[in-house]
Amino acid sequence: MAEAQPPDLNQRIRRPSERLALVEYIATSPTLQENEHLEWKSGYDLSQRPDAGKLAKQLVGFANRDPVRARRLSGGYAYVLLGVEAGAITGVPVWDSADIESWLSRFVPSELIYDIHYVGASGKDILLLEVEPPRNGDSIFCLQSSTGDGKSNLSEGAVYVRRGGKTEVANASEIEMLTTRARGSGIGGRLDLNVEVESQSLDPLDPRMLEPPIPERWVETTRRELMKGIPDGPSLIAAIGESRSPATAREQVKAYLQEVAANWPTFALSRHVAQQEPSLTLAVTNKTDENFESVLVEVVVPLPISCVGNSAKRVAEELSVAEQPQKWGEFNVPKLNRNIFASPAEPELSVTGENQTKVRFPPIHVYPQTTHPLDSLTLALAPEWAASDVSIEWRATAANTRGLLSGEIVISLPGLDESGSRSPANKPAA
């Protein structure tokens, strides 16, 4: 069987069709690895105490994840599947949900929330348990009873966590994390929010714009436009609004076009930004019932500061290699200082490393169960970014809570297909 297409594992798997897609993807991917939010087993019989204890161990491990880290995939949800493994579907009996809960309740705390689903595939039944996302204020979950089978020997009170694709006994640092998580409820507790992509229209410069004859054609077309009307020799009649001599005007045009030709990649990127206005809008999401005051969000973008800005116009101006001279006889309107009308609430930009720009957004009040878009950013992306990923690091603090949150946002950019047309952005790997 050919490898199936996975569901979008960046989001919660909600629909029956998405659950089926997950089962088929696991079953047709013999090299697929388990991870911090996905586990599968092929041979459990939940009516037997030892196997019910083994499944409870997996549920406890998923419930004991770090809330911030867990939210990076599947909205924080985790999935345990019985009756499927990488490369095969084995199936399990269709047990009554009440029986499953009864078998697991011997081992799993009542506060640990999970949902039970069955998925039919290849004539067999697969059990899928969906574990709720961990949240600040959650207790430290542990096994409520030992299996007592002398084999797996799972002990009462054992605390398990997910470590990569395995469920292991928590070590000292993980117990400390869980203790901090348990203390994190209520005002003055730990900060609990996420920074996500609200919208984006990022598009790297087409590399064909750097290849002949496009630069030469643009220079020649612009030369004709700017030279139009300039007298061939000294002019006895001054043009209205024109203070230059014809010779000076021609020299300005020549110098401008030479500067553009010498710096064509930067100039082409400037034009691309001005025309396409590539933008990125991030948002702060608060899924808790708490108010977070004066939330300060900072992101680090892997671009030089000249390629990052609050608007396409500003970035295009930063990348501009030379100021285009006015056409002959046209009145030249002086450019106003762009900072005159700058708002004090605009994001602050600073250089934080080689080809890295830190953006600090103005503090905002984040209300319970809400999403707050941040100011949009313009990102100038050179051709080498085509068909690649932009990794943006973020961190957040708040005035009324403890802790510093951090995370990473990965944005896949489009490339060019064989015909030279834009191809869709790469999808993140499962």
Please indicate, yes or no, whether residues 160 and 245 belong to a single structural domain of this protein.
no
Tokens of 160: 């398990």
CA angle, residues 137, 141, 142, in degrees to nearest 5: 160
In this predicted model, what pLDDT tens digit does every residue of 47-93 receive, in sequence order?
999 999 999 999 999 999 988 788 778 888 999 999 999 989 999 99
Q: Which segment, 13-17, 143-147, 257-261, is predicted with the most confidence on average?
A: 257-261
pLDDT band at 291 (very low <50, low <70, confident <90, very high): confident
Identify the weakest region by mean pLDDT among 95-104, 155-164, 186-195.
186-195
Range of the domain at 256: 207-274
Residues 176 and 28 in one domain: yes
Cα 350 from chain centroid (whole Å): 21
Would 143 be classed as within a structural domain? yes
Q: What percent of the chain has pLDDT over 90?
A: 63
**145 and 105 share a domain?**
yes
Q: Are 91 and 120 in contact (CB under 8 A)?
A: no
Distance CA 360, CA 372 (A): 15
pLDDT the model gives residue 347 = 94
Answer whether residue 263 is part of any domain. Answer: yes
Residue 334 forms part of a structural domain:
no
Residues 426, 290: Cα–Cα separation, whole Å: 36
Low-confidence winner among 133-142, 212-221, 258-267 (lowest mean pLDDT): 133-142
Query: Do residues 167 and 258 share a domain?
Result: no
Q: Please name which of 379, 384, 376 lies closest in space to residue 305, comparing C-alpha atoms.
A: 379
CB 392 within 8 A of CB 408: yes
Question: Using CA atoms, how far apart are residues 291 and 58, in angstroms rounded to an integer?
Answer: 33
- The number of distinct structural domains making up the chain is 3
pLDDT for the residue numbered 422: 64
Are 269 and 294 in a shared domain? no
Q: Are residues 359 and 305 in the same domain?
A: yes
Same domain for 127 and 226, yes or no, is no
Mean per-residue pLDDT for 6-11? 78
> Residue 47's domain is classified under what CATH number?
3.30.950.30
Same domain flag for 25 and 174 = yes
- Please state, in angstroms and rounded to a whole number, the distance separating the CA atoms of residues 376 and 392: 14
> Pick the residue with more confidence: 69 or 128?
128
- Of the two residues 159 and 244, the one the predictor is more confident about is 159
Q: 296 and 255 in one domain?
A: no
**Is 359 part of any domain?**
yes
Which of residues 153 and 58 earns the better pLDDT score? Answer: 58
For residue 96, count other CB atoms closer than 10 A to its CB. Answer: 9
Instruction: For residues 45 and 172, state if they share a domain.
Output: yes
Which has more pLDDT, 318 or 9?
318
Residue labelled with tokens 């700058």: 342
Q: What pLDDT was estimated at residue 339?
A: 47
- Tens digit of each residue's pLDDT (9 = 90 or more) over 190-232: 678 999 999 999 999 999 999 999 999 999 999 999 999 888 8
Q: What is the pTM of this model?
A: 0.56
The verdict on residue 290 lying in a domain is yes
Q: How far is CA 172 from CA 37, 161, 175, 177, 274, in A?
A: 22, 12, 5, 9, 53
What CATH number does the domain containing 374 carry? 2.60.40.10
103 and 251, same structural domain?
A: no
**Are 160 and 309 within one domain?**
no
Look over the chain and give the mean of its residue pLDDT values, rounded to a whole number.
Answer: 87
Q: Are strands 84-85 and 348-353 parallel, antiparallel or unpaired?
A: unpaired
Which of 120, 152, 185 corresponds to the end of one domain? 185
- Report the percent of the chain where pLDDT is more than 70: 88
